[in-house]
Structure 1
């Protein structure tokens, strides 16, 4: 595969770029920031895409750096030639992989190519991955070092090739199949056949353990069932005994009831006498006092007392308000001067201060602009003085530049035509056209024969080949004319003369500019143009800046601005003096404090008005309540008791009422108990029943029937719980084995699974042993391939170092050891930076030779030789010239050394049957 051209619509900071590459050596020259590394990244991205993995390093994140630039998507085309077919890779990239687009088109037919990966076409076109591409064909600045990884595709492919002559056979396929077989048996995710059988084994063992545990639980429940039944019998027997004792205790209770009835009758008589004595003490003019009347009077007293407290607190508030009013008046008197300046003083002052600051800023900007304009004009004058006559080129530079380039191209063309190579090219062109003529002649004969054959079979179709023959005859006639023209020596001379005339025409045009712009020679014009181009952008920028700064200056307005600034400043100082302040902050703080004082004054005045109205209302309400309370106290004879002592006397009455209520409650309770004890009987009948009491002897010690009832209730509850527990245990025994398989069935399935596990484990060991043996064999092959790689690396390293080092050893992970001419052995890491870079370049070239053999592939260098001295650079360019007949060299450089050295080697490059071109980036 070789790269024929690239077209960048937008990629990073590059826009609308088109470059064409030759099969031999291509030097892309340009200064720093010209876009060389971006072009190199474009080639890599168009071949291998942008990785979806996120990279923390912004510099290494190609999507962040190149995909979207100034809101524009990366878009472009890369034309490659693979096995004589031109394929155009058309891609565009967005912020995410979903936004990416790729197409590969056959350049001749325009049809889409589907058999090549759209994401990573380089994998199919070069038959290597991105990491292998970077380890062989893609060489970044100071980056000839070759890195190794766990899955080193380059070394594996070389080993396969060394073993069988084919890169994709044996080891990889065998390992892949064995790995696939191993994954079918066991995987890290646990979804292999052996994993599933192991999982089944665990489940069956768990099922067997569960069955055995269930059996043990049933044995325990059977034993427990016997104990529960025994406990039930004992509880039922206890209930029978308690019921008998309850009948016995009723007889004993009747005797005690008789004594209690007599005692409650006596208590009832005593409580009635006590209640009559309390009622005498509670008599008043309105009759007996009750709790409700006393509570109402007590509430009125509390209300009146609270009114007195509120009125006293109001008097304290009056003193507080009066004190605050005097304080506010003193503050206002002290700020009388500020008040006289008006209510909008703050607004006026701020407006005045803002105007002062704006004018001050304008004055400063004007002064800074003047200084900056003077500096810019001085710099512009310096540049124009340094250019001398070159200043006159302004406006003509583009035309002069293009004319010089065309002039140089015509000179090179003339030189090429004069050289022997021109005739060789002409011979090649004639031979090519003759070959085409021969092919067309054969096609014409075939067309005539086809027409004759069709005339015999289907006469109506015989005319179709004749149309084709007529078309080919026309082409053959034109080719014959072209061959005549090319073989005519007169035609060759006319072409040379035509080029010479164009050269004279360009010389005349350039001389016109020399005369018009008063230069002494074409050389002086060229030097001045180059010098002017270097300063052109700076002159444009300086002129634009001067114009911009002059537009920003206030010019005629500045005198008026300065005058307003002085007047406003004077007025502001007058306000400060009148307000006795030395700054705007102090004045604003005084105004703020004064506003707060005025606000406080308003609040205090409102508070005073509210206070006066409230006090008057409180006094009126107090008088009304005092009269109402006095009327009530007069009825109960308390009108002469002071207000503060009333609560004490009223509490005494409440205590008497409470005592009366307690006596009445006790009397009611006694009477109710007396009635209950009698139970509609009389004392004589109770006395007769007592004669029939039977003295039964029982073991229980319960004294009351309630105690027996309680015990009966608890025993019944216990019996219910026992019966419930009995049912639960019986159900548990019955239901425990429902839905469970038999132990024999479980054991049978388990044995079958264990047999499968044993068989698969044996198969897995066989697969792993096969993989191990294959890997050991592969490593042995890599050792056999090593000497071949060492020989190739040594060959290139010797040429690059002019024979200083005679041998290089390469380890499996690309670590290098070199042998000097005198036999000393050195680690590659001990070499100088230049030699270290050379030895790894030799390794890359050797790897490319072994990996691609005679296949044409591009070698891409990005400022790879910046640390080489001239001798090293000459050596490496000679080596690259030698390999350029089978490798396309694309060399990106920021220095002209490579260009100069290769131009001096032009004749040698031609002798190697290769070609060279220089592309300059501007």
Structure 2
């Protein structure tokens, strides 16, 4: 079987996406989120849909909503595949209430959905029946998914569980694993002592430890508080000394500031004198202050523009003369081709196209009439007698064969054996309970006979009575369970009898069809069917082809008649003959396009002539305007030349410089004075005596300020540290709890811990019992599976591991070829376990189906190093010669390795 083509009309993120696959190796590459898994799910959905299996009503799986198209209501696709040499086409609409599946013969277009299994619950035909198994087996065999995210331990468990589920029932829904997992979840829900953060049991243990630690910690708090209070007293003494030093430094800084007032007054007097000198210079240059540099710049620009316009007018006048000369020459040439002036360009193009179509139709009509005559002769040689009856009987035979095989594969004998084994165990348990009841009843009677005054009566009678009550109640439950088992065994036995009757009836009807055509086996009937079916197809194909040729002949005759009518109107103008040729048409076309080209050139020159005249007039108007602007600027500035204007601007620049200097001096004076007046500075400077000034000059103000800042910072840090110590002392007092309260909490937590331990003990007993029941499940398929898996793992590991062993507990081991020792799978690397997972699924696929179905691999080599990857790709390259391989990957390694070994493959980059 080969998947040929995927047409994703609307599915997930894709819309109108087409992929073509080859019969051998196919690599579909794409980065994460590129849609590889979506395409992978599309293949599964086209064959099986997204329905929950074994349900009595139509229930959709989560994948239905997950891959519903984005911003679309349309939800469908097409898939083509090759099976036994025939090409089939699946068309599926996934949308609820509109879901529909049709299967066509892609060669003839015939609807052959009825040849496939029909699901009465879904009310749909099942294209997936071509595999011979359902979607659960499909996902556990030929469809191998990624396991790269699992840990080594989890990966080993996955391989073991896959063997138990698939080997025991071919169905994930019928699984001992599910029951064990449920008990494991309940055990894990309680947890262990080590799971301190994630389980109730671990949390109780952790809370008890915290309570014990709290009891020990409380005794240490008093000692810590004493140390903190001693440190607090020392800090307060240091803070008092620092504040005294702060006051002394502030007084020294104030003395230095008085001396600085005198220095500012002297500096202010100097700046005032400089401002007076600048004011006199500004007054002399004030007459040039109104000159504008923009006027000067505009004047220079206008004179340059005036020169450019005069030069442009001269150049455009020369260009106008050349255009006029070319226009006169072109008018002479157009008079020669004047006959084409009455035909529009759009009409001429249609006319030429009609001429070409007329010649082409005439030639096609001649060839087609020759083919019609040949087919009429061939049709007489084919015969259609009794072919349809044989085709219908062949389809009926295969349908009955499929139904018979379906009955055989659904045999429930293994379930009967399991139920009978369970029944024997329960009967034995019931018998033992009866014995215990008899013994304890006897003991109670003996105790009663001995009398109420005997101490043994009080020690024994109450426990014995409770045991008898419990034993009676559990025996009643076992009897109900035994009756249920008997009913189940009887129901399964009756169903098997009915299936055997249906199977015998189908065998008789199949033998009747073979005898009807004198055949002893299905192979002989198939040969007769293939020969007859091919003859039927030849007849149908020739009839269809003949009809299409006749239709095409009539269309050509109508087209030729219509074209002849269309050409008559322009025949005289273009001098067309009745038997004109393509060459004649091309000459006319060449002359017409020469005429059109010259007309376009004429229009271009006329437009250019108008453009040049308009440009000259515009430039003349602009030139007059610029001359007027120049005269206005000279008049406004009282100057007669650009040089005179330039000298006035230099004097204005000096005037502005004096203004800026004066402004800076005024700012400097304002800065010196600050918020004080000059009179205030004068009065303060008088207070400073010579002796005071000498003493202050000895001191360094910056050093004093730095010392003052340092002391203030140190005071701030001490105060913060004191606050933190006081908060720590306060918090330490808050952490005390009475020991009575702590002991009460410890008692309550111990009781909860005991309850969890009793529940864990019961759940573990139940889990061990179920696991012991399922230990023999793999005996049905282990020898064949061991051989298949061993052959595969030998190749993919480069013969490092040649033999695989699966024991009665479904534990997997491999034989190390270097030391010939058995190695448990849990001790292998993640990459090797991934190889075993692949080999196991591949082996099961080969056991279930003799026909080579496609092998679909979804990023399942992520844990492989380069050597493992080369081994598995060499194996798949060899396997691709016998079956189709579809490998989805987000790496380029696979492509590079296959190219390295010269393997042919189809590469699709998403």
Whether the TM-score (by the shorter chain) exceeds 0.5 is no
Scaled to the shorter chain, the TM-score interval is: 0.3 to 0.5
Q: What is the TM-score normalised by the length of structure 1?
A: 0.41
Quick check: which has more Rg, 1 or 2? 1
- TM-score using structure 2 length: 0.41
